[in-house]
Protein backbone atom coordinates (compact mmCIF):
# COMPACT_ATOMS: atom_id res chain seq x y z
CA UNK A 1 0.00 0.00 0.00
CA UNK A 2 1.27 3.51 -0.77
CA UNK A 3 2.32 5.94 1.92
CA UNK A 4 -0.17 8.82 2.02
CA UNK A 5 1.03 12.28 3.04
CA UNK A 6 -1.72 14.91 3.21
CA UNK A 7 -0.34 18.40 2.62
CA UNK A 8 -1.18 20.70 5.52
CA UNK A 9 -0.82 23.68 3.13
CA UNK A 10 -4.38 23.04 1.97
CA UNK A 11 -5.84 22.66 5.46
CA UNK A 12 -8.07 25.28 7.10
CA UNK A 13 -5.62 27.31 9.20
CA UNK A 14 -8.46 28.66 11.33
CA UNK A 15 -9.17 25.04 12.25
CA UNK A 16 -5.69 23.60 12.10
CA UNK A 17 -6.14 21.53 15.27
CA UNK A 18 -9.25 19.93 13.82
CA UNK A 19 -7.47 19.10 10.55
CA UNK A 20 -4.43 17.68 12.35
CA UNK A 21 -6.78 15.47 14.41
CA UNK A 22 -8.48 14.31 11.20
CA UNK A 23 -5.10 13.24 9.77
CA UNK A 24 -4.24 11.48 13.05
CA UNK A 25 -7.49 9.51 12.90
CA UNK A 26 -7.19 8.73 9.18
CA UNK A 27 -5.17 6.09 7.35
CA UNK A 28 -2.60 8.74 6.38
CA UNK A 29 1.04 7.95 7.19
CA UNK A 30 2.84 11.30 7.25
CA UNK A 31 2.05 15.01 7.58
CA UNK A 32 3.45 16.78 4.51
CA UNK A 33 4.58 20.26 5.59
CA UNK A 34 5.39 22.78 2.83
CA UNK A 35 7.73 25.61 3.76
CA UNK A 36 8.01 28.45 1.21
CA UNK A 37 10.21 31.52 1.46
CA UNK A 38 8.94 33.82 -1.29
CA UNK A 39 12.39 33.62 -2.97
CA UNK A 40 12.85 30.06 -4.19
CA UNK A 41 9.12 29.99 -4.99
CA UNK A 42 6.68 32.86 -5.59
CA UNK A 43 4.75 32.25 -2.37
CA UNK A 44 5.26 32.33 1.40
CA UNK A 45 3.61 29.66 3.56
CA UNK A 46 4.56 29.30 7.23
CA UNK A 47 7.55 28.72 9.49
CA UNK A 48 8.72 27.36 12.82
CA UNK A 49 5.88 28.44 15.16
CA UNK A 50 3.28 26.74 13.00
CA UNK A 51 5.40 23.60 12.51
CA UNK A 52 5.94 23.36 16.29
CA UNK A 53 2.20 23.67 16.87
CA UNK A 54 1.50 20.88 14.36
CA UNK A 55 4.20 18.74 15.98
CA UNK A 56 2.50 19.02 19.37
CA UNK A 57 -0.73 17.54 18.04
CA UNK A 58 0.56 15.25 15.27
CA UNK A 59 0.72 11.52 15.98
CA UNK A 60 2.58 10.76 12.72
CA UNK A 61 5.94 11.89 11.29
CA UNK A 62 6.33 15.39 9.85
CA UNK A 63 7.57 15.17 6.27
CA UNK A 64 8.94 18.67 5.76
CA UNK A 65 9.44 19.97 2.20
CA UNK A 66 11.66 23.04 2.09
CA UNK A 67 11.05 25.32 -0.88
CA UNK A 68 13.64 27.82 0.33
CA UNK A 69 17.05 29.12 -0.74
CA UNK A 70 20.07 28.36 1.46
CA UNK A 71 18.35 25.65 3.52
CA UNK A 72 21.68 24.88 5.28
CA UNK A 73 21.09 27.94 7.48
CA UNK A 74 18.07 26.32 9.13
CA UNK A 75 18.58 22.54 9.25
CA UNK A 76 18.94 22.21 13.02
CA UNK A 77 16.00 24.55 13.59
CA UNK A 78 13.78 22.27 11.51
CA UNK A 79 14.98 19.32 13.57
CA UNK A 80 14.11 21.23 16.76
CA UNK A 81 10.70 22.15 15.31
CA UNK A 82 9.91 18.45 14.93
CA UNK A 83 10.78 17.43 11.36
CA UNK A 84 11.28 13.68 10.93
CA UNK A 85 12.06 13.97 7.22
CA UNK A 86 13.65 17.03 5.65
CA UNK A 87 13.64 17.46 1.89
CA UNK A 88 15.68 20.19 0.22
CA UNK A 89 15.51 21.20 -3.41
CA UNK A 90 18.27 20.03 -5.76
CA UNK A 91 18.00 23.43 -7.46
CA UNK A 92 18.63 25.30 -4.18
CA UNK A 93 21.71 23.37 -2.98
CA UNK A 94 25.15 23.94 -4.52
CA UNK A 95 26.67 21.50 -1.98
CA UNK A 96 23.90 18.96 -1.90
CA UNK A 97 26.03 16.09 -0.62
CA UNK A 98 27.08 18.13 2.41
CA UNK A 99 23.49 19.19 3.02
CA UNK A 100 22.07 15.66 3.00
CA UNK A 101 24.90 14.40 5.21
CA UNK A 102 24.11 17.13 7.72
CA UNK A 103 20.38 16.32 7.68
CA UNK A 104 21.20 12.69 8.49
CA UNK A 105 23.70 13.67 11.19
CA UNK A 106 20.92 15.65 12.83
CA UNK A 107 18.84 12.46 12.98
CA UNK A 108 16.35 13.15 10.18
CA UNK A 109 15.63 11.27 6.97
CA UNK A 110 17.19 13.23 4.12
CA UNK A 111 15.15 14.01 1.02
CA UNK A 112 15.99 15.66 -2.28
CA UNK A 113 13.20 17.35 -4.24
CA UNK A 114 13.41 17.93 -7.98
CA UNK A 115 11.42 20.45 -10.01
CA UNK A 116 9.51 19.26 -13.08
CA UNK A 117 12.33 20.37 -15.43
CA UNK A 118 15.15 18.73 -13.44
CA UNK A 119 16.32 15.44 -14.90
CA UNK A 120 16.40 12.34 -12.70
CA UNK A 121 19.81 11.57 -14.22
CA UNK A 122 21.29 14.45 -12.18
CA UNK A 123 20.69 12.37 -9.03
CA UNK A 124 22.99 9.51 -10.08
CA UNK A 125 25.83 10.57 -7.77
CA UNK A 126 23.66 11.29 -4.72
CA UNK A 127 21.03 8.55 -4.92
CA UNK A 128 22.73 6.17 -2.46
CA UNK A 129 22.95 8.96 0.14
CA UNK A 130 19.30 9.98 0.29
CA UNK A 131 16.26 8.46 1.99
CA UNK A 132 13.60 10.17 -0.13
CA UNK A 133 13.40 11.58 -3.64
CA UNK A 134 10.52 14.05 -3.87
CA UNK A 135 9.43 14.30 -7.49
CA UNK A 136 7.53 17.53 -8.11
CA UNK A 137 4.65 17.01 -10.51
CA UNK A 138 3.72 20.71 -10.45
CA UNK A 139 5.95 23.77 -10.30
CA UNK A 140 6.35 24.28 -6.56
CA UNK A 141 4.70 27.22 -4.86
CA UNK A 142 1.00 26.53 -4.65
CA UNK A 143 -1.49 23.82 -3.81
CA UNK A 144 -4.28 22.90 -6.19
CA UNK A 145 -2.34 22.98 -9.47
CA UNK A 146 -2.78 20.63 -12.40
CA UNK A 147 -0.66 17.47 -12.50
CA UNK A 148 2.09 17.63 -15.16
CA UNK A 149 1.79 14.23 -16.81
CA UNK A 150 5.30 14.26 -18.34
CA UNK A 151 6.62 13.72 -14.81
CA UNK A 152 5.36 10.10 -14.69
CA UNK A 153 8.32 8.84 -16.73
CA UNK A 154 10.60 10.31 -14.05
CA UNK A 155 9.17 7.88 -11.50
CA UNK A 156 9.97 4.97 -13.82
CA UNK A 157 13.52 6.23 -14.40
CA UNK A 158 14.07 6.73 -10.67
CA UNK A 159 12.74 3.26 -9.84
CA UNK A 160 15.37 1.84 -12.20
CA UNK A 161 18.16 4.02 -10.75
CA UNK A 162 17.23 3.03 -7.19
CA UNK A 163 17.13 -0.69 -8.06
CA UNK A 164 20.47 -0.59 -9.89
CA UNK A 165 22.26 1.44 -7.20
CA UNK A 166 20.86 -0.37 -4.17
CA UNK A 167 19.72 2.98 -2.75
CA UNK A 168 17.26 2.87 0.18
CA UNK A 169 15.41 5.90 -1.22
CA UNK A 170 11.63 6.10 -1.32
CA UNK A 171 9.98 7.89 -4.23
CA UNK A 172 7.45 10.54 -3.19
CA UNK A 173 5.32 12.38 -5.74
CA UNK A 174 4.01 15.85 -4.99
CA UNK A 175 1.54 18.03 -6.84
CA UNK A 176 -1.83 17.47 -8.47
CA UNK A 177 -2.24 13.94 -7.12
CA UNK A 178 -5.88 12.85 -7.20
CA UNK A 179 -8.07 9.76 -7.20
CA UNK A 180 -7.79 9.52 -11.01
CA UNK A 181 -4.00 9.46 -11.31
CA UNK A 182 -2.99 7.81 -8.00
CA UNK A 183 -3.02 4.19 -9.20
CA UNK A 184 -0.97 5.09 -12.29
CA UNK A 185 1.63 6.74 -10.05
CA UNK A 186 1.84 3.67 -7.80
CA UNK A 187 2.17 1.39 -10.84
CA UNK A 188 5.00 3.58 -12.17
CA UNK A 189 6.85 3.03 -8.87
CA UNK A 190 5.90 5.79 -6.45
CA UNK A 191 6.09 4.80 -2.77
CA UNK A 192 4.45 7.89 -1.30
CA UNK A 193 1.72 10.22 -2.53
CA UNK A 194 1.37 13.82 -1.33
CA UNK A 195 -2.17 15.17 -1.61
CA UNK A 196 -3.39 18.65 -0.68
CA UNK A 197 -6.47 19.80 -2.53
CA UNK A 198 -7.68 16.28 -3.17
CA UNK A 199 -7.89 15.64 0.57
CA UNK A 200 -8.94 19.02 1.90
CA UNK A 201 -11.49 19.95 -0.76
CA UNK A 202 -13.22 16.62 -0.21
CA UNK A 203 -16.50 16.64 1.73
CA UNK A 204 -15.12 13.60 3.56
CA UNK A 205 -11.31 13.91 3.81
CA UNK A 206 -10.84 10.72 5.84
CA UNK A 207 -12.61 8.63 3.23
CA UNK A 208 -10.62 10.31 0.47
CA UNK A 209 -7.41 9.38 2.30
CA UNK A 210 -8.62 5.76 2.52
CA UNK A 211 -9.37 5.80 -1.19
CA UNK A 212 -5.88 7.08 -1.99
CA UNK A 213 -4.45 4.37 0.27
CA UNK A 214 -6.25 1.71 -1.77
CA UNK A 215 -5.19 3.20 -5.14
Interface residues toward ligand DX5, by CB under 6 A: 7, 9-10, 32, 34, 65, 138, 140-145, 174-177, 194-198
Quick one: residue 128, left, alpha or beta (phi over 0 = left, psi -120 to 50 = alpha)? alpha
Helices 48-57 and 16-25, packing angle to 10 deg: 40
Catalytic residue among 63, 174, 178, 191: 174
Q: Are 176 and 138 in contact (CB under 8 A)?
A: yes
The C-alpha atoms of residue 70 and residue 158 are separated, in whole angstroms, by 26
Binding residue for Zn ion (CB under 5 A) from 63, 131, 174, 178?
A: 174
Nearest approach, Cβ of 5 to ligand DX5 (angstroms)?
Answer: 8
Q: Does 172 bind Zn ion (CB under 5 A)?
A: no
Q: Is 174 a catalytic residue?
A: yes
Nearer to ligand DX5, 139 or 156 (CB): 139
Could you tell me how many residues of this chain bind Zn ion (CB under 5 A)? Answer: 3
Whole-angstrom Cα distance, residue 199 to residue 191?
18
Q: H or E stretch including 59? A: none
Q: Cβ of residue 85: shortest distance to ligand DX5, in angstroms?
A: 13
Residue 191 annotated as catalytic: no
Site for Zn ion in 37-96 (CB under 5 A): 65
- 90, 96 contact by CB (below 8 A): yes
Supply the minimum distance, in Å, between the C-beta of residue 166 and Zn ion.
27
Catalytic residue numbers read 34, 174
Amino acid sequence: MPIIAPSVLSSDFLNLGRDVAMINESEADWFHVDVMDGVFVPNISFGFPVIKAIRKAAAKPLDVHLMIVEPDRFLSQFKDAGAAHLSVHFEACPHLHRTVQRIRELGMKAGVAINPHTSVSLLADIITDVDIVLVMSVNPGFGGQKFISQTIHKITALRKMIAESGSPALIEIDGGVDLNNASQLISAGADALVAGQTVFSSPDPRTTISQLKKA
